[in-house]
Structure 1
Amino acid sequence: MKTLAFDVYGTLINPQSIVLEVEKFDAQKAVCLVDIWRSKQLEYTFRRGLMKQYANFGQCTREALDFACLQTEVKLNDTQKKQLIDAYQYLPAFGEVKESLTELKEDGHRLFAFSNGTKNAVETVLKNAGILGFFEGIVSVDGIKTFKPNPAVYQHLIDTTKTERSQTWLISGNSFDVIGAVNFGLKAAWIKRNPSILLDPWGIEPTETISSLGELKSCIKK
């Protein structure tokens, strides 16, 4: 039995589907806006973590949207921005997620959602995606007021789940998260859904690299 900690956005949940919502307001610039929005969303967590000026992931998301609108010159009013923020609660899971989580649960592993998002926000998106019931619990960085990849976040995971580093896997589609976990001493599976994405050349490698969650079961048996 292993403890499996799943990142949420970009790993279980597909944030790029928000493009469809943005297209309702500006179809031409939707993809560009969403790319900037996601990039700034993560950048703001990194910067706030370094500055020790914590604001929850929801605030980082709103501020990143404001920046993306300014950068792309897409003019949205407060109601339209709220509509996009609210859409984050209804993002879908990637196609293979339910089947894969079912198999891992049946194998007796402990499954946790492990996210930069607040516990309430993560619970809502997982429930709406139909996968909340697979998880023993939700571990949120909000409990310690900082963000991945701060080592304190991975210690928080170990403390909360009451498990050993050697028995804990991080599963993430985000390379910065994988590098942070391996640096801390966890095993980590990087879900490389897009073959063109590169791992940062820091000399820190994932324990396993897979193209979808469906490959995880065989990896953790090694």
Structure 2
Amino acid sequence: MFDADLGAVTFDSYSTLVDVDSVERALADRVDDPEPVSRLWRSRSLEYTMVANHTDSYQPFYEMNRDALTYALAVHDADVSDEERDEILATYHELDVFDDVRRSIERLGDAGYPCYVVSNGDPEMLDSMVDHADIGDLLDGVVSADEVEQFKPDAELYHHAAERIGEPPEDLAHVSALWLDVQGAQHAGLQGVWLNRDDDPWEPFGAEPDLEVASIDGFVDELLD
């Protein structure tokens, strides 16, 4: 059950604050059908991070993303040069920002809730995301997987974030659009808030989220109600 007595709020980045599906515009200029390429790219990228956690093969997320894009393009026989691939990859620095992001984080700050980003992204990616989303003045900090060389949903990253924030895990709520991130946060002792923008069904596997919301505004409403 969700407990609104929080010391801070943490947010995932990709799919939560910024829309990874917006890469399809860059892909559309170079492949006939961008949607399946985009989906395979995203899923492979996440799979690579989870394998890396168990095989001591960490590399910064930008490199994981490059490898995953290379694979997705090869699967779909896309005739794309290395230079064009890197141009597509660079769109991760300027992904579309969801409309409610700045407004909601500003409301949380005004209500006294420190806000942090906790992400698989490497520092350079997160710097550009924060700048592009125009939320640098609203955040109390950004925590990257690069700091511990472990990706979500490994508990080490969430515990590291709690230590940096200075709050016990149980006093943090982690907001994410990714089910595996929600369950990872819960496993590490945080409260897991599922941001379900598309009204999807929850996974039949594992724990239920502590709270489900359709928007970040909806999450703020729950806290301030």
CA deviations 1:174-197 (Å, max 9, x no partner) are: 000100111121111100112234
State which of 149, 152, 177 in structure 2 corresponds to 1:148. Answer: 152
1:114 aligns with 2:125: no
1:13 aligns with 2:18: yes
Structure 1 residue runs of 5 or longer lacking an equivalent are none
Judging changes above 3 Å, is the alpha-carbon distance between structure 1 residues 200 and 59 closer, same or farther for their aligned structure 2 residues? Answer: farther
Distance 1:185 1:114 in 2: 15
TM-score (norm 1): 0.95
The residue type equivalent to 1:213 in the other structure is I
Distance 1:200 1:42 in 2: 20
Judging changes above 3 Å, is the alpha-carbon distance between structure 1 residues 62 and 200 closer, same or farther for their aligned structure 2 residues? Answer: farther
SS at match of 1:209: strand
Correspondence for 1:82: 86
Distance 1:200 1:159 in 2: 31
State how many pairs are aligned.
220
State which of 207, 211, 218 in structure 2 corresponds to 1:208. Answer: 211
Distance 1:220 1:184 in 2: 22
CA deviations 1:127-183 (Å, max 9, x no partner) are: 022222211111011111111011111111111111122321101000001001111
Correspondence for 1:46: 50
Report if aligned partners of 2:159, 2:169 keep a CA contact under 8 Å in 1: no
* RMSD between aligned residues: 1.3
Distance 1:209 1:199 in 2: 13
Distance 2:162 2:190 in 1: 10
Question: How far is 1:2 from its partner?
Answer: 2.7
Matches within 5 A, 1:1-222: 2-26=7-31, 28-202=32-206, 204-221=207-224
CA deviations 1:73-128 (Å, max 9, x no partner) are: 11110110111111110112111112111111111110101100112210111102
Judging changes above 3 Å, is the alpha-carbon distance between structure 1 residues 200 and 41 closer, same or farther for their aligned structure 2 residues? Answer: farther
TM-score (norm 2): 0.93
Moved over 4 A (4+): none
